[in-house]
Amino acid sequence: MLETINFTSSELPACVTSEVLPERPPLIVYDDTNGATNIERQLAILPAAKRWIIDLVDTLAAWYSIDPKLVLAIIAVESNFEVKARSPKAAMGLMQLIPDTAERFNIKNAFDASQNIKGGIKYLRWLLSYYHGNITLVSAAYNAGEKAVDRHRGVPPYTETKNYVRRVLELYQRQTHPYDEKLAVPSPIITRPG
């Protein structure tokens, strides 16, 4: 828990050392104004019992320099904010990590929300580097795997993947995302200018 909060003192808080209930942060209410993005509109109607996921994503996404709205769009499409979600293909948790991906990013318990989101963000960060920030290719690879995207030189012709990419793009509403080019050698389908 301590790794997901800004704990700057060497003294333990009162909620740990005594029978005092912890202070609750104010509930963030997302304003559904005309300028709201689709993911913000979806978050505005998220049940109160799932709103803690937004704060957790905001914290973890900042650690890895990933837009939390991209992470939340992936979570919305992957699991609809269900911590214990499980797919027929053995994908687990909020970001639906398959066992190989969980192992690849050193996730021991894919049903632990913090670990799951960290693993999903690490994979997104790697994919952003590999596909030079192209959200279409990143979301296709998150769904079908980077090998399928490379083999088809773009979004694979799978109905599930095409629908997945469309839904992520509808929620996120951006085509590109900044990336760290040092994390991965670019995909062979990425053409460099010059």
Residue 97 CA to residue 153 CA, distance in Å, equals 23
Element holding 131 (H helix, E strand): none
Catalytic residues: 78
| C-alpha–C-alpha distance, residues 173 and 185, integer Å | 26
Nearest to 64 by CA among 187, 177, 192, 186: 177
- The secondary element (H helix, E strand) that includes residue 176 is none
Tokens of 77: 């499409």
